[in-house]
Amino acid sequence: MIRFENVTKRYPDGTTAVDDLSFDVREGELVTLVGPSGCGKTTTMKMVNRLIEPTAGRILLDGEDIARTDPVRLRRRIGYVIQNVGLFPHRTVLENTETVPHLLGWTRAKRRARAAELLELVGLDPSVHGSRYPGQLSGGQRQRVGVARALAADPPLLLMDEPFGAVDPVVRERLQSEFLRLQEQVRKTVLFVTHDIEEAVRLGDRMAVFGPGRIEQYDTPATVLGSPATPYVADFVGSDRGMKRLSVTPVEAGGLEHPPVVRAGSPAAEAAALLAERGAPYAVVLDADGGLRGYVAAGGPTSGTVDDHTLRVEARVPVGAPLKQAFSAMLQHDAGWTAVVDGDRYAGVLTPATLHAALRRSVNEDGADGRNGSTGLPDAAGAGADEDRAVGGRQAEPDATAS
């Protein structure tokens, strides 16, 4: 979709803002450009819509050299969102949102319908906010209008330069979530500039880590965090990169442990015998449809059925959730393991050892060059997902309640 080929930008005062930059962005991909202030991110972005012209090299958009396209027509194919938005203060929210459709000569009815649709898409009510002026909105609402305006003419490409930089952390977090949800629906190709590593990791399909005038590493967040290419990148992503990786590595059904399973309604004595035979500390209780009822602990009562003794599994997460959510569930419920569910069905359990193994695997898969697959942690003893291995964890024994 976008290709930078040996692009250099030198400003008239001799500053080299970008030096021999080459990278590409695939269609439908959200790429974050991240790095400290002054390293050339904005310059890089503005060369795509020709607000700045390169000194050398070329930029291709869908295979076409943008230097040969008319800049005005080029910009109509590219949505542009900047910090503090640049909304027209004397135009209403609806009028602001219609800016590009207006330039494109859409009829008034079509413009209005599109603007209203987009305001709803970014979480604003057109009948409430549409007739307001930008000064009558909160910072977060103005940013949403900025995004709606950029999407109005349905451009295939969005350029976003620190779009959420001017709002407080709580609003920023919400805007990020909303934007991710929006991107799921519209699947634009997005270049997103930020100096915030957390934001870059959270939003990016891939991230380009900028040093002065150049890209130090261009890869998925999991790989950048798990295997920084240079000491500069390692320093920039921070010493807590292991923690950050928990947010970008999903729980996978293939990497779980499988403690013994007993059926709801079966005799408690049978469950006790199974646990003793397997040397396992607990068994998972499932209903006939494979749904998770709870668990029974070893050494418990043997009278009646397992239903009489089933304890609630407090810590549970869906397949695909970030490892961070699983870890957080274990901490919150003081549990040694968390159950993993796939829709209504139980899929297995995650323990600290399998969590560590999953982090390690994500580096090895992503960093196919095998550069440095270390999680920065010593190997957790016995990490693995053996079917028959006894698991050592405890689920919330202290405050477990029978269900």
Q: Which residues would be at the binding site for ligand ADP (CB under 6 A)?
A: 11, 13, 15, 17, 37-43
Nearer to Mg ion, 42 or 96 (CB): 42
- From ligand ADP, Mg ion, none, which one binds at residue 209 (CB under 5 to 8 Å depending on kind)? none
100: exposed, middle or buried (C-beta count within 10 Å: 0-12, 13-18, 19+)?
A: buried
- Give the three-class secondary structure for 169: helix
CA distance 283 to 295: 6
- From ligand ADP, Mg ion, none, which one binds at residue 360 (CB under 5 to 8 Å depending on kind)? none
Nearest distance from C-beta of residue 346 to ligand ADP, angstroms: 48
CA distance 231 to 357: 25
Is the Cβ–Cβ distance between 274 and 283 less than 8 Å?
A: yes
Nearer to ligand ADP, 163 or 255 (CB): 163
Nearest distance from C-beta of residue 161 to ligand ADP, angstroms: 7
- From Mg ion, ligand ADP, none, which one binds at residue 356 (CB under 5 to 8 Å depending on kind)? none
253: exposed, middle or buried (C-beta count within 10 Å: 0-12, 13-18, 19+)?
A: exposed
Q: Which helix (H) or strand (E) holds 221?
A: helix 221-226
- From Mg ion, ligand ADP, none, which one binds at residue 244 (CB under 5 to 8 Å depending on kind)? none
Residue nearest Mg ion (C-beta atom): 42
Interstrand relation of 2-10 and 292-297 (parallel, antiparallel or unpaired): unpaired
Q: By CB under 5 A, tell whether 305 contacts Mg ion.
A: no
- From ligand ADP, Mg ion, none, which one binds at residue 369 (CB under 5 to 8 Å depending on kind)? none
Among 42, 44, 92, 310, binds Mg ion (CB under 5 A): 42
Q: Applying CB under 5 A, which part among 35-43, 69-77, 142-150, 351-359 lies near Mg ion? A: 35-43
Residue from 130, 221, 120, 137 nearest 178 by CA: 120
Is the Cβ–Cβ distance between 288 and 307 less than 8 Å?
A: no
Residue from 347, 345, 365 nearest 337 by CA: 347
Is the Cβ–Cβ distance between 292 and 314 less than 8 Å?
A: no
Nearest distance from C-beta of residue 35 to ligand ADP, angstroms: 6
Nearest distance from C-beta of residue 2 to ligand ADP, angstroms: 17
Nearer to ligand ADP, 146 or 226 (CB): 146
Nearest distance from C-beta of residue 174 to ligand ADP, angstroms: 24
Nearest distance from C-beta of residue 66 to ligand ADP, angstroms: 18
Which residues contact Mg ion (rule: CB under 5 A)?
42
